[in-house]
Structure 1
C-alpha cells in the first residue's frame, strides 16, 4: 500500500524561531518515510522563507501530486498577499489544503489591518480549506466564522527531545536548588522589544539597587537570542552600560545544541513578559517548564492555556518590573523548587515531542480521510 504524500509549504530554518523549529521537528520525524521506513507519510517540501524564490516555489507547488498540502501561513499583510496567490493556485488545481497558524494575530490582521478586497479574499479562501490548525484551545476563536468549527484543530507545541534534560540531569539540577545562593534568570527569545526583554533588564536593575542598598546578590540575569535590528542591540547594550549591570547581566548570543542545554540546566527562573502581537504559544516557555524552571510571563495570546499561577507568575497588562522583582525576591528557594517540579511534570505528561507528533499524525489522518478539496463551495 502506497504511503500518502504530504507537501510542506512552510518556513524552515534558518532563521530559527518557534514556527521554523516546529516545522523542522515535524518534517524530520519518524512520521516521514525518508526518516523511518515505517513512517506513515511521504513528506515533500518547499521552503517559502525567502520571497525571492516565490515564482520558483509556485512552479514546485504546481508540479506536486501530493495528497495533502500542509501550509504555514503568514501574519503580515505582505506575507498574506503571497499566501493568497498560493491559495488560488491550490484551488485552481483542486488540491486539498491544511493550514497551520503559529501565532495569534491572523484574525486581527484580516479584520482590522487589511483593505476590504484583501479581507474578503481571506474569508473566501479560508472557508474552502480542508482544515486549520491553531496552537491552543483559546486560539480557536481566530477562525470561528471563517471555517466550520469541526475543521479547526488544536495541536499544541512541544519540547524537542534534544532540549529536554534527562531524569538524572533534572534530579541533579533540582536537588541543588535548595542551597543555591544565586539563582539564574533566563530570557531566551528573539530580541523584539514587545517580547519583554526591557522588562527583564529592569528587574536586573532592581536587583543591583537592592545589593547596593546592602542586600546580598540573589539573582543573575542571562539573555540569549538574535538581534534582528541594530537599534535593539544598541538599546540592550546601552541599558546594561548606563546602569552598570555588567556583573548582573550576561548576553550569550544565539544559542543551540549543547550551549542551549547548558543554559536550560543552569537557570531556575524563566522570564518572557511578552506582549508581541504575533505571539501564539512560545516554545521557549515549554522548554523552560520542561527543564525545571519557575515561569514569569503574561496573560497574552495562547499563554494562559499552558501557564497559570501554579506555574509561576502571570503578569497583567499594567505590571511593573520592580513589583514583580519584589515578589520573586521574596520567595524562598523551597517554594521555587515546588513550582519547578510541577512544571517538569506537566511537560512530561502533555508537551513532549511524542505528544506533538501524535497530534499531527491524527490531524493528517483525519484530513486525509475527508473528501474536502480546496475547490469545494
Structure 2
C-alpha cells in the first residue's frame, strides 16, 4: 500500500511533531506500506510557530509544488495528514489536503489539537468550510473526550488513538529534583504559574529543588527570572533549557514529581513521558488530561491558572514521600497498559486496512 504522509515533523520539536514522527516510524517499519513523506510545517523553530513571513510563503509554494509532483508521479492508495485545527496553519494544511483529495480517494485526518467547536459556533461560514474540508475523510482523534470539538462538522464516528511514547524509566537514578516542569516555555503551558507556586512553597520548604526544562523566548525567560528574584526563590530552581534524547530522559528520571499546570492542551506527550519514568503528575483538567491522570491516584489535578491550588498540591506531596512513591508506581503501571509506543504504533497501522475496506 503506497501512502502519502503529510505531517508536522521535527524540527521544531513539540508534541504533535513527535507523535507524527512515531506514526511515520510505525508505517515505515510495517512491511505492507510504501511511504512518501513530507514535513508540512513551515516553522524551523518554536518561536516562529504561528508567525507569518515571506520566507514561509515561499516555503509553502515549494512544498505545494513538491507534493503535486509526487501525486502525479505516484498512485497513492491513501493520504495521511496531521491537520492543524485553527489559525493560518489550518488554511495552509487545508489547501494541501484539497490538492491531495484531487488525486487520492482515501484520506485520513489526524488531529492533535482542539478549538474547532469554538470557531464554528461563531460562524456559519466557517462551519461550512470546516465541514467541506472534513468531508469524505476518516478522522483520527486523541481521545473520546475531545470528539465533541468536531461534532458540528464531522457527523461520523472518529477513530480514537491515544498518544504513546518510548519507555524511559531508569529506576536507579539519583533524585536531584523534587519537581520538574518539562514543556515548551509558553505562558499557556503554565510555567509562570509553576514559578509563582515555587515562591509560595519555598517559605515552608526552603530546601525544595525544582527544574524547568524547555525552549523559550527571551521574554518568557526574563519573566521567569524576575518572578524567581521577586520571591527569593532563584536558588531553588535550575533552568536547564531544552533537553532531548538521553538528556531529557536523565533529568526526568532524576526527579520525583512532574508538574504541567497547562491551560491549553489536548494530550501532552510530556505527561506520558513522566508516567513512563514513574513520576506522579500534577496538572490541570484541560483537554484529555483527566483521562490520563487519575486524580489522587496517579497524580493531582489542580485549578487552571491558580498558583495557590498548585502550591497546595506540591506541599501535600512534599509532606508525604510515601504518597509520591505510591502514585509513581500507579502512574508507571497506567503507562505500561495504555500509553506505550508499541500500543500507539499498532493502533496507527490498524487504521489503514480498515480505511481500505471502508466505502467512502
Measure the CA separation in 2 of the matches of 1:226 and 1:124.
37
The residue that corresponds to 2:33 in the other structure is 41
Instruction: Go from structure 1 to structure 2 and tell me whether the alpha carbon gap of 1:184 and 1:275 turns closer, same or farther (over 3 Å shift).
Output: same
For residue 135 of structure 1, the aligned residue among 135, 139, 142 is 142
**In the alignment, does 2:211 pair up with 1:222?**
yes
- Report the CA distance between 1:82 and its aligned residue: 1.4
**Change in CA separation of 1:317 and 1:259 when aligned onto 2, cut-off 3 Å:** closer
Query: Is this contact kept in 2: 1:264–1:288, CA < 8 A?
Result: yes
Which structure has more relative contact order (CA 8 Å, sep 6+)? It is: 1
1:107 aligns with 2:117: yes
Q: Is the 8 A contact 1:75 1:109 kept in 2?
A: no
Deviations 1:193-228 (A, max 9, x none): 1211112112211232124xxxx62x211001011x
Report the aligned-residue RMSD: 2.0
1:45 aligned counterpart, secondary structure: strand
* Contact 1:137-1:305 at 8 Å conserved across structures: no
Give the aligned partner of residue 343 of structure 1: 331
> What TM-score, normalized to structure 2?
0.88
Q: Is the 8 A contact 1:12 1:49 kept in 2?
A: yes
Is this contact kept in 2: 1:206–1:325, CA < 8 A?
Answer: no
C-alpha distance in 2 between matches for 1:59 and 1:41: 24
In the alignment, the residues of structure 1 paired with residue 220 and residue 15 of structure 2 have an alpha-carbon distance, to the nearest angstrom, of: 20
Q: CA deviation at 1:234?
A: 1.3
Match of 1:366 in 2: 354
CA distance in 1, matches of 2:326, 2:356: 44
Q: Displacement, 1:313? A: 0.7
Distance 1:322 1:199 in 2: 9
Structure 1's unaligned 5+ residue stretches are 373-377
SS of the residue 2:235 aligns to: coil
Matching residue of 1:91: 101
Whether 2:303 is the aligned partner of 1:316: answer yes
- State the Cα deviation string for residues 220-242 of structure 1 (Å, max 9, x = none): 11001011x33212111221233
Following the alignment from structure 1 to structure 2, what is the Cα–Cα distance between the partners of residues 201 and 313?
Answer: 18
Structure 2 runs not aligned, ≥5 long: 43-55
Aligned residues: 339
Secondary structure at the residue paired with 1:252?
strand
How far the C-alpha of 1:116 sits from its partner, in A, is 4.5
Aligned partner of 1:126 in structure 2 is 134
1:157 counterpart residue number: 163
Note the C-alpha offset of 1:39. Answer: 2.0
The residue aligned with 1:196 is 190
Partner of 1:375: none
